Structure 1
Amino acid sequence: MNIYFFYVVISIIAVSIALGAYRLVKGPSASDRAVALDALTNITTALLVLIAFLSARFIYLDVALVYAILAFIGVVAIARYLEGGL
C-alpha cells in the first residue's frame, strides 16, 4: 500500500486522540466524559489494529480484541454507575 495512506491515517488518529482527550478533561458532565472515554478506547483499538498491519505481527490483533472487550465491559460498568444501577 501507499505509505502516504498510513501517514494520513496516523494523523487522523492523532487528531482524534487529542479531541477525545480534550472532551475527557473538559466534558461538562460525567456522561460526556464516559462517552469520550469510550471513544478513546475505540481509537486505541484502531491504533492497535493499524500497528498489527504495519508490523505484520498479528498478535496485536488478539491484544486489540481483548482490549476492546475489556473496554466495553468498563464502559457498561461506568454507564450503570452513572445511571444508579450499581
Structure 2
Amino acid sequence: MSGLAFLEYAVAISFVVLTLAMLLVIIRIVRGPTLPDRVLALDMLVSVGIGFIAVIAIKTGYMLYLDIAISLGLVGFLATVAFARYILQRWEIRANQSESEGN
C-alpha cells in the first residue's frame, strides 16, 4: 500500500467519523435537555466543522483552508464565551428573584 492510497483511506474514514459526529451533535442540539447542553453541542458543532475543513484541506492540498479553520475556531470560542456569560447572568437573575420571593 502506497502512502497516497493510505492517505485516501484515512480521508474517507475521517469523513465518515466526522459525519457521524455531526449527526450526534445535531441530535444533542435538538433534544437538549438544558440550555448549557445545547451551548456545548454548538461548540462541538464548531469543532466538527473545523475537522471537516482540515480534512478537506488535506484532501485537496489547498492549505488556505486552514486559515478558515483557525478563524472559525476563534469565532466559535468567542460565541461559547458569550453564551456562557448569558447563561450565568440568567442564573443570577433567577437566584435573585427566588431569594427576594423567599423573604
TM-score by length of 1: 0.94
Percentage of pairs with the same residue: 28
- Where structure 2 has 5 or more consecutive residues not aligned to the other structure, the ranges are 91-103
1:49 aligns with 2:54: yes
Task: Tell me which amino acid in the other structure corresponds to 2:55.
Answer: L
Aligned CA-pair RMSD: 1.1
Larger-gyration structure (1/2): 2
- Where structure 1 has 5 or more consecutive residues not aligned to the other structure, the ranges are none
Within the candidate set 75, 78, 92, 1:73 is matched to 78
Moved over 2 A (4+): none
Q: Displacement of 1:5 after TM fit?
A: 1.7
**3-state secondary structure, aligned to 1:61:** helix
Deviation per CA, 1:36-66, whole angstroms, max 9, x where unpaired? Answer: 0001100100110111111111110000000
Q: Distance in 2 between matches of 1:58 and 1:7?
A: 18
Q: Corresponding residue for 1:25?
A: 30
TM-score by length of 2: 0.79
**3-state secondary structure, aligned to 1:58:** coil
Q: Distance in 2 between matches of 1:82 and 1:30?
A: 8
